[in-house]
Every structure is written in C-alpha cells, then in structure tokens.
Amino acid sequence: MESMIFNMAERLLRDHVSHALREDAAAGQCPEALWTRIEEAGLTMALVPEAAGGFGVPAAEALGLVRIAGAHGLPLPLGETLVANAVLARAGLPLPGGRLTIAEGSALRLERRGATLHASGRLTLVPFARWADRIVTIAALDGVDHALALPVRDLAVEPALDLAGMPRDDAEVDRTLTDAEAAPLPAGTGGMRALGALLRSLAMAGAMETILRMSVEYANDRVQFGRPIGKFQAIQQYLATMAGETAAARTAAEMAASSLDTPAFALGVAAAKSRTGEAAETVGALAHQVHGAIGYTREHALHHFTRRIWSWRDEFGTERDWAAELGRAALTSPRDTFWHFVTDSTAQGATA
C-alpha cells in the first residue's frame, strides 16, 4: 500500500508541479486544477481511518505524502488537509472536502452561550488561509479539547506571505458554531502545534532531499578551471555535510511520524522539529554556496526550496522552542539517568 500511494503521489506531482507553477503560486495564483487532481486521487484522505472513508494505512505511511509534497515544493495545503481531515474524523465531525488548513487555537476563546458554542479570537500565520475552504483548529473548553472547523468565508482574513511567497494569513474569529463545526476530541489527540510541527519537519526533510539532489547535479555539471566543481575538495565537503544533515532530518521526521498516537509523540515531534530546523539552516546555506550566484536568481528553481525550508523552520515553533521542550522533559523525567531518558521510547515530560 505504501508503494502504491507513494508512487501515485510521485507521478502526480512530478507531472504537474513545475517551476512555472511554483512561480505562479508565489505571484498569488492558486493552482486550482492541480488541487482537483490531488483530491480526485484521494490523497487528502490518507490519514483518515478506513471506517471514516480513508485509506486505513498506518499514520507513518500516510504522512510520507507530506515529505513527497515538500520534495516537489507543492504550493498547496496537502499536509494541512491530511491533518485537518484526521482531526475532524477523530472528533466525529463531517469531512467537508475541499482545501482545509490548520492553525494553533491557543489564542481562541471558546465559551458556551446557551445551547451553543461561541469561538472568538485571532488566528495568526494560518497557512493558505485565503485559498482554503475551512480552518481546522483545536481549542479548549473547561479543560477539554474541541475540534473546530471554521468556514473561511465567514472570517475576516488579513493576507500576508511567508519568505517563499505562500499565503500565511491572519484570521479574526467571532462566530457561533454549529454542531457540524465543533465537537470534543478524545484525550491524547495532541495539540495542533505539535501536529503542525510534524508536518513542517516532514516537508523540510523532503525539500532538503531535493536541494541535495540539485546541488549534486549542479556540482557535476558546472565546469570551472577545466573540471567539474564537484571534483574540488571544498565542494565535496559541502555536499557531504549536506547529505549528513538531510539524512538526519529525514530520520528524525520519520521517527516522529511513527510515534503519532503514542506516549512518545510529544518528544518525537520536539526532536524532529529542532533537528530538521537546524539542518535547514546548514543545507540551505551550503546549497547556495555550491550554486553560487545562479542559485539566487528567480529563473533557477533552488530558491523555491531554500526559501520554503527557511520559512518552515520557524512555523509551529522554532528549533529553539522545541529544544526547550526537550530540555524541560529531560529535567522532569522520572528516569534514573539522562541516558535512560534518551534511549527509552516511552519517555514523557514534554508538553506539545
């Protein structure tokens, strides 16, 4: 099943995500036709249980689609829609279809007004909000997490962009919610911040694989002083460092994906987001060193990937934020030694 889903996604994105499409998206044009193909292929339901209409594959396999999307620089909220549908299904809410996105809901105020729930507050830096049909978030009421599905058309959206030119909008919420828009979540679901950090870790890992491939190809093709620059020791050292950082990022991200719905998820995400964020800084910088001036031009595809990883490393918590989570977990761990904390996959203590 993993091979079938991954092969389908690879073919679809390879055939339809081009440099021109990424350029158009950065100029504000939503690739509607591509989204239709993605939805028709059923990829947006990969993380939903089979009983709710999804694929019924392990979460780590479904989340592998996010890494593939990152490797192609997909300018659409596939990862966000995957997670949004999974959260709605877990809460027993209808799956509305269309483009969904996610946001941290800690700033929202959820209160009862008679027989209804009312949500108010501001959601910030919401990925693709203006291109989405609904924003899915998690907010607490009386200590119980609730999933919310907020129609974008009923919100006041303030447009903004990230470094890659992708929508990162603010949305003002002041809405009485229907039964189809809010429901309690089972305990242990995890906050939207952790789920978003997992998405960004996987996407960064995929994008860095593409950056590494582009850098190796360029080093082999670019001739200077009578031979390919990849023959020079300094460039070889850059590429070796990039390969090590990329491999570490993918390993950390995939370990976090495998820990979804386990007690180790909070720590897995913390490790993944901090490690992939650290790798993004190194890989992006060295890729531009290898490419030289051409890598900074709009005509070259490199910038679409480096600007994405530099944006993603700061979303849903920076590596410093998540490293602090790991530090707090280590200090509060009941394990006898730090080594036991590091090697015990059930270690807990971090809050997500």
Residue 40 has what pLDDT? 96
Q: What confidence tens digit (pLDDT) does each residue in 255-276 have?
A: 999 999 898 899 999 999 999 9
Distance CA 345, CA 265 (A): 9
Return the minimum-mean-pLDDT range out of 27-36, 223-232, 285-294, 307-316: 223-232
Residue 215 has what pLDDT? 98
HEC string of 244-258 equals HHHHHHHHHHHHHHH
Angle of the 265-291 helix axis to the 233-258 helix axis, nearest 10: 160
Domains within the chain, CATH numbers bracketed: 2-184 (2.40.110.10), 192-343 (1.20.140.10)
Residue 44 has what pLDDT? 97
Q: In the predicted model, is pLDDT for residue 350 greater than 80? A: no
Output DSSP code: residue 117: E
Q: In the predicted model, is pLDDT for residue 314 greater than 90? A: yes
Q: In the predicted model, is pLDDT for residue 170 greater than 90? A: yes
Return the minimum-mean-pLDDT range out of 22-36, 39-53, 256-270, 324-338: 324-338
Residue 12 has what pLDDT? 98
Higher pLDDT, 346 or 276: 276
Express the helix, strand and coil content of the chain in percent, nearest 5 each: 55, 15, 30
Residue 30 has what pLDDT? 98
Mean pLDDT of the chain: 93
pTM of the predicted model as reported, rounded to 2 decimal places:
0.94
* Reported confidence tier of residue 334, pLDDT bands at 50, 70, 90: confident
Q: What confidence tens digit (pLDDT) does each residue in 100-123 have?
A: 999 999 999 999 999 899 999 999
* Reported confidence tier of residue 79, pLDDT bands at 50, 70, 90: very high
In the predicted model, what is the mean pLDDT of residues 208-234?
Answer: 95
The residue whose two tokens read 């911040």 is: 193
Q: In the predicted model, is pLDDT for residue 165 greater than 80? A: yes
298 SS3 class:
coil
The residue type of 262 is T
Burial annotation 130-162 (CB, 10 A radius, 16+ → b, else e): bbbebbbbbbebeeebbbbbbebeebebeeeeb
Q: In the predicted model, is pLDDT for residue 183 greater than 70? A: yes
Distance CA 207, CA 26 (A): 17
Share of the chain above pLDDT 90, in %: 85
Residue 276 has what pLDDT? 98
Return the minimum-mean-pLDDT range out of 149-158, 168-177, 261-270, 331-340: 331-340
Residue 330 has what pLDDT? 85
* Reported confidence tier of residue 1, pLDDT bands at 50, 70, 90: very low
In the predicted model, what is the mean pLDDT of residues 14-24?
Answer: 97
Rg over alpha carbons for the chain, rounded to the nearest Å, is 21
Residue 352 has what pLDDT? 42
Number of helical H runs and strand E runs in the chain: 11, 10
Q: In the predicted model, is pLDDT for residue 2 greater than 90? A: no
Residue 3 has what pLDDT? 74
Output DSSP code: residue 161: B
In the predicted model, what is the mean pLDDT of residues 61-67?
Answer: 96
